Each structure stands twice: as C-alpha cells, then as structure tokens.
Amino acid sequence: MQYGKHYILECIVKENDMLTNLEGVKALFTSIVKTLHMTPVSDCVSHVFPGSNGITAFQVIAESHISIHTWPEYNYFSFDVFSCKDFDDNALDALIHEAFPVAKKVRQIVHRGTLMMNETDLLEAPIVTPTSSTSL
C-alpha cells in the first residue's frame, strides 16, 4: 500500500521570464490539473515578492497539492506535486519543459507512507486517546 507520490523538482533556467509570470504559472497549474486528471478544490493562492518579483504559488487539489517557488535573481525555481493517487511523472516533466527553458534540473520521486507500508503493523498500532483538548 502506498499513501502518496511526491514529485520534487529543482531547476536552473536559461531565461527567467517565466519565473516572474504569475499568469503563466497559473496556466501551468491548470494544465497540470487537467493532464494528470486531478481535482482542484480552490483557486491558486499566490504571492509575488516585491523587488525580485519572485513567485510562490500553491494549488490545493483533492489529491493533495501543487506548489512552486521562484527566485528569478538566481534563474532558479523549486516545484512539487504531492498526490495520494499515482500520476504520470513523464507527462509532468513535459509540461514543465514546455513552460520553462530548463538548463539544469534535479528531480526526485518520493513515495510517501513507508511507515504505513506494513498493514500488520498498522493494525497492531496502539490507539491513542487525547487526555485533554486544546483550542486554537
């Protein structure tokens, strides 16, 4: 049993125009959701940083999330998709390469839920009951 796939990407780009293009990032997120058959549950939440115009954007999907953080001053961005369902990471790579002129990249795929992989261990785990409640 697997509880999620986490696609993690770091890139250096040849040109940094897309790293300051919020509408382009939102369009990329829309393409990702459509191509990977994900389910958006909110609009993209974003922030453009004064000075560098770097972007942080986050899309909540029913399957988990999509996020990006850009540093145009370094021609760099970090990006990830976490999903409780499997998805085509090669299709995701293609969308990223269409949107960004990637010069160098480091990609990792992390399979989440390794602590929960053994169902026997899960069934034998102690039930913890809170002794007091805390309000936020």
Residues 6+ apart with CB under 8 A from 81: 6, 7, 32, 36, 64, 65, 66, 87, 92
The enclosing domain of 79 has a CATH number of 3.60.90.10
Asked if residue 129 is part of any domain, the answer here is no
Asked if residue 122 is part of any domain, the answer here is no
Asked if residue 86 is part of any domain, the answer here is yes
> pLDDT tens digits, residue range 78-108?
999 999 999 999 999 999 999 999 999 999 9
> pLDDT tens digits, residue range 51-80?
999 999 999 999 999 999 999 999 999 999
Using the predicted structure, report yes or no on whether residue 120 has a pLDDT greater than 60: no
Domain span at 38: 4-116
Asked if residue 41 is part of any domain, the answer here is yes
Active site residue 65: no
Local structure of 29: helix, strand or coil: helix
Asked if residue 54 is part of any domain, the answer here is yes
For the chain, the domain total comes to: 1
Asked if residue 18 is part of any domain, the answer here is yes
Active site residue 31: no
Q: Which of 46, 65, 67, 84 is catalytic?
A: 84
